[in-house]
Chain A
Amino acid sequence: DGGITQSPKYLFRKEGQNVTLSCEQNLNHDAMYWYRQDPGQGLRLIYYSQIVNDFQKGDIAEGYSVSREKKESFPLTVTSAQKNPTAFYLCASRALGRGRLTNEKLFFGSGTQLSVL
């Protein structure tokens, strides 16, 4: 089955520690996204990438880093600089087709809940 796989489902971070959240997709999608979800708030964009080896900051990129070495993988690192990392993190992808109607659907993973110890 095609889809997006995020791991782990739950992750705990100690103070001063960097942690990496995995996101893998086998949908052959060009674009991938990382969102942060806090209770009572909408999704906020952290980073996105439309092509391998290229990515752009979203609205709340500070304290996070990403890489896009392969089309199917877009890992997110939450660094020690992110002072309030507790949140639900969602990865998404979409196809970059020629037609407007074919490329606007986002596919989401099932998320990673990150908590601070």
Chain B
Amino acid sequence: GNSVTQMEGPVTLSEEAFLTINCTYTATGYPSLFWYVQYPGEGLQLLLKATKADDKGSNKGFEATYRKETTSFHLEKGSVQVSDSAVYFCALSEAGNQFYFGTGTSLTVIP
């Protein structure tokens, strides 16, 4: 079956630090991969996505590369800001019918 495993949090970083949030997946076919972000008290927003192997999704300084050989889609940002504090969810979809989400990783960035 399909599933997503992401690193447990919470993660606390100082401003301008480097961020990595690990995500690995299990899928029966060729899924699309996503990172969603949830700010306090709000719904989720799509941060970035990749639809095939070796694709790199990027947005707002965040990047993630679809690695089929390691079944991974790790989220990275070179220099985090206080405004990046949120919960980050890795997700996959096969043919867009159902979406499978990881448990979420809480990030707090301190000044």
- Interface residue? B82 (CB, 8 A): no
- Is the pair B93, A110 in contact by a Cβ cutoff of 8 Å? no
**Which residues of B lie under 8 Å from residue A6 when comparing CB positions?**
43
Chain B interface residue number, banded = 20 to 34
**Which residues of A lie under 8 Å from residue B41 when comparing CB positions?**
110-111
**Which residues of A lie under 8 Å from residue B43 when comparing CB positions?**
4, 6, 90, 92, 108-111
Question: Which of B4, B45, B96 lies at the interface centre, i.e. has the most chain A CB atoms within 10 A of its CB?
Answer: B96
**Chain A nearest CB: distance from B14 CB in Å?**
25
- Interface residue? A52 (CB, 8 A): no
- Interface residue? B98 (CB, 8 A): yes
Write out, one digit per residue, whether chain A residues 15-36 have a CB within 8 A of any chain B CB (1) or not (0). Answer: 0000000000000000001000
**Which residues of B lie under 8 Å from residue A33 when comparing CB positions?**
99
Interface residues in A, total, Cβ within 8 A: 23
**Chain A nearest CB: distance from B43 CB in Å?**
3
- Interface residue? A45 (CB, 8 A): yes
- Is the pair B49, A43 in contact by a Cβ cutoff of 8 Å? no
- Interface residue? A2 (CB, 8 A): no
- Interface residue? B110 (CB, 8 A): no
- Interface residue? A104 (CB, 8 A): yes
**Which residues of A lie under 8 Å from residue B51 when comparing CB positions?**
100-101, 104
- Interface residue? B25 (CB, 8 A): no
Residues of B within 8 A of A (CB): 4, 32, 34, 36, 41-46, 49, 51, 89, 93, 95-96, 98-99, 101-104
